[in-house]
Amino acid sequence: MSHRTVRALAWPGYFFAFLLIVFPVGDLVVNVWPPRIGELQWRYGTLGLLSGFWLTPLFGVAFLVACAAALEHRGMFRLLSILSIAVAVLLAALLVLFILDWLQVRTTFPPEGRGFMDVGSLKAIAKHVLVTLLFAWVGVASLRASWGKSGEHRGRSIPPLVREASPKV
């Protein structure tokens, strides 16, 4: 595929990735509106929903990374690194809040229902941890990709995401 073709397809790809991120965020906001941050049950439920919401936005972030790589947009890699690291920090803080809320809400459940609640909460915690780590990883990888066109920095070479095939002779 020619560089011109890749460039022509990458810009619609940026828009597609944007939609993959914005639409689920909008859906989540509509589902938990109006915010009642002071209510323990609302926070616990919202953070539980948040744990299952990330797959489509993560696909959008992966698409953004692919488009930035195709276009060799170092600025986009820098933006993705800043945003991804900020999201990872925010998610880490929300994870701590979720755990504290879970421990508090747990005491309001009857003993026979706590097992189910604990399993659901532990699944949500695992999802939050994995998504947090993935956003941090994307942030660091995007930062490394922004170092230069060839991916070289301090004498190290970062392998390209996609290699062009050698022409057959």
pLDDT, tens digit, for every residue of 59-109?
999 899 888 888 888 888 899 999 999 999 999 999 999 999 999 999 998
- Answer for the pair 58, 92: CB distance below 8 angstroms, yes or no: no
Percent of the chain with pLDDT over 70: 86
Residue 78 lies in a domain: yes
Give residue 158's pLDDT.
46
Residue 46 lies in a domain: yes
- Vertex 34: Cα angle to 30 and 39 (nearest 5): 125
Q: What is the mean pLDDT of residues 123-139?
A: 95
Residue 40 lies in a domain: yes
Q: What is the mean pLDDT of residues 19-47?
A: 94
Question: At residue 138, what is the residue type?
Answer: V
Residue 111 lies in a domain: yes
Domain ranges, residue 55:
3-149
Q: Could you tell me which residues come within 8 angstroms of residue 128 by beta carbon, excluding any fewer than 6 positions away?
A: 47, 50, 51, 91, 94, 95, 98
Residue 165 lies in a domain: no
Q: How are the residues of the chain apportioned to helix, strand and coil, as percentages rounded to the nearest 5?
A: 75, 0, 20
Percent of the chain with pLDDT over 90: 59
Asked if pLDDT for residue 149 goes beyond 60, the answer is no
Q: How far apart are CA 66 and CA 161, in angstroms?
A: 8
Residue 61 lies in a domain: yes
Give residue 103's pLDDT.
94
Residue 157 lies in a domain: no
Q: Structurally, how many domains does the chain consist of?
A: 1
Give residue 17's pLDDT.
94
- Mean pLDDT for the chain overall: 86
Asked if pLDDT for residue 116 goes beyond 80, the answer is yes
Give residue 95's pLDDT.
96
**Pick from 68, 73, 121, 77: which is nearest to 95 by CA?**
121
- Answer for the pair 61, 84: CB distance below 8 angstroms, yes or no: yes
Whose structure tokens read 């639409």? 23
Question: At residue 63, what is the residue type?
Answer: F
Residue 159 lies in a domain: no
Q: What crossing angle do the helices spanning 40-51 and 3-32 adopt, rounded to 10°?
A: 150
